[in-house]
């Protein structure tokens, strides 16, 4: 064991393991934490004063978190399961299924996220005055 590890164990006890785990957890999942924070922020604002723009901001943040989790955790798991399920008998379905699960779903999720964020920007800043007033009054 190195000098730093000995000092850390002697002075911090088990806390250095917890601190290291928290550092890795935050560095690995910062986009998810950002998405959760944005969802809470826009959810509270949406609850207080509902508007279409705030709904778009909320769903854009929600889809940002979903897109991150899908590309990082869900899609690789499904790819492994597809290789098992579509074994030797259905091998011809393997390539189209991997295309649907991988790039196609990611484009759809990121496209929906971009649509909601673009719509939110349009409603907040770029919508004509009459149209913006009609969307916030409902």
Q: What percent of the chain has pLDDT over 90?
A: 49
Question: What would the pLDDT profile of 26-78 be if each residue is shown by its tens digit?
Answer: 998 999 999 999 999 999 999 999 999 999 999 999 999 999 999 998 999 98
The 3 state secondary structure assigned to 97-137 is: HHHHHHHHHHHHHHHHHHHHHHHHHHHHHHCCHHHHHHHHC
Whole-number pLDDT of residue 36: 95
- The HSE-up count of residue 104 (CA atoms within 13 Å, CB side) is 7
3-state secondary structure of 22: helix
Q: What 3-state class would DSSP assign to 128?
A: coil
Q: pLDDT at residue 85 above 60?
A: yes
Q: Quick one: pLDDT band at residue 137, thresholds 50, 70, 90?
A: low
Straight-line distance from the first to the last Cα atom of the chain, in angstroms, rounded to the nearest whole number:
65
Burial string for 26-36 (b: 16+ CB within 10 Å, else e) reads: eeebeebeebe
Following DSSP, what letter does each residue of 50-70 receive, concatenated? --HHHHHHHHHHHHHHHHHHI
């Amino acid at each position: 064991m190195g000098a730093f590890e000995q000092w850390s164990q002697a002075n911090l006890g088990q806390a250095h393991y917890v601190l290291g785990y928290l550092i890795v957890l935050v560095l690995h999942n910062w986009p998810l934490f950002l998405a959760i924070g944005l969802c809470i922020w826009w959810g509270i604002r949406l609850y207080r004063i509902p508007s279409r723009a705030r709904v778009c901001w909320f769903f854009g943040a929600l889809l940002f978190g979903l897109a991150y989790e899908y590309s990082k955790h869900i899609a690789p798991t499904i790819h492994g399961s597809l290789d098992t399920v579509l074994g030797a008998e259905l091998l011809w379905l393997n390539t189209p299924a991997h295309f649907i699960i991988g790039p196609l779903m990611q484009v759809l999720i990121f496209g929906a996220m971009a649509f909601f964020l673009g719509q939110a920007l349009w409603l907040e800043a770029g919508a004509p005055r009459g149209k913006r007033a009609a969307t916030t009054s409902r």
